[in-house]
Amino acid sequence: MALILATDDTGGPEIFASVQGEGPSAGMPVAFLRLSRCNLACVWCDTAYTWHFEGDQRPHRDGKTFARKANQLSLNETDVAERIAALGQTRLVVTGGEPLLQAPALARMLDALPHVAVEVETNGTTKALPALDARIAQFNVSPKLAHSGNVANLALLPERLDAYANDTRAWFKFVIAQPSDIEEVLALAARHSIQHERIFLMPEGTDSDTLRAREKWLAPLCVEHGLRLSDRLHIHLFGDTRGT
């Protein structure tokens, strides 16, 4: 059986070691596994090469589409596990795309990595099957606000948000482009009983100047509402590049 992965700049699988750049684990050394495919289409997505393939008419702000063959590959689950183990890390971040779309294959792959703590980055619209759920130490749930371009009935599913709000492993990370976005976050938190101390606000941006400019007005709003601020360390360190 196989997993469908994104590719790095060499055309190989995007499996690498780095520091986590966002959210509650920021700064921790980890292994990364980036899977391909997504069920949503954010207009500002910085990993559009995982889903915006040629022929996909969903909008993206740069208008670029990607050749599927050059940006997506299939690897045997055992091969994926061996590559991750070779990185020598004790924590694995599984990201995408939307990684939970491949939950069965991901669960089987993790059987070969029993001593690795697993962190999953998800858009919050899907769920982990029991075999996978048992292996997940942390969910980084990033519900998509209206400015993402996704319609709410696809991106904000009440039953899934309620479930993650009741899961102590789940942290919430909202991408913020302008101050008014925070009103939407506060409304979702109230509606689904999401504790404010579990919410990170992260500026939208793929360069340091944009992130810093937005953090200047975002930080005081975090203080005002009792929310956490998330930077994007990998952007400052490596720029908007794959495999970092």
162 neighbors 187 (Cβ within 8 angstroms): no
* Calpha distance 98→45 (Å, rounded): 12
Counting every residue, how long is the chain?
A: 244
pLDDT tens per residue, the chain (244 residues)?
Answer: 899 999 999 999 999 999 999 999 999 999 999 999 999 999 999 999 999 999 999 999 999 999 999 999 999 999 999 999 999 999 999 999 999 999 999 999 999 999 999 999 999 999 999 999 999 999 999 999 999 999 999 999 999 999 999 999 999 999 999 999 999 999 999 999 999 999 999 999 999 999 999 999 999 999 999 999 999 999 999 999 999 9
* Separation of alpha carbons 56 and 67, rounded Å: 11
**Per the structure block, which two tokens stand in for 78?**
């055992």
At 1 the pLDDT is: 84
Our measurement of the distance from residue 131's CA atom to the centroid of its chain's CA atoms, rounded to an integer in Å, reads 21
- Tokens found for residue 158: 């009440």
Pairing of strands 29-34, 15-19: antiparallel
At CA 118, angle to CA 116 and CA 120, rounded to 5? 160
Distance of CA 40 to the CA centre of its chain: 12
C-beta neighbour count of 190 within 10 angstroms: 9
CA distances from 242 to 18, 30, 88, 205 (A): 11, 15, 20, 15
Rounded (10°) angle between helices 208-225 and 181-192? 50
Question: For the whole prediction, is pTM greater than 0.95?
Answer: yes
Q: Give the C-alpha separation, 221 to 227, whole Å.
A: 8
Tell me how far apart the alpha carbons of residues 94 and 25 are, in angstroms, rounded to a whole number. 13
Number of helices (H) and strands (E) in the chain: give both, helices first: 9, 10
Q: Which tokens in the block code for residue 167? A: 């899961």
2-172: CATH, from 3.20.20, 3.30.420, 2.30.29, 2.60.40: 3.20.20
Read off the tokens for 53: 């393939």
**CA 108/CA 126 separation, integer angstroms:** 18
- Asked if 117 and 28 count as a contact pair (C-beta separation under 8 A), the reply is no
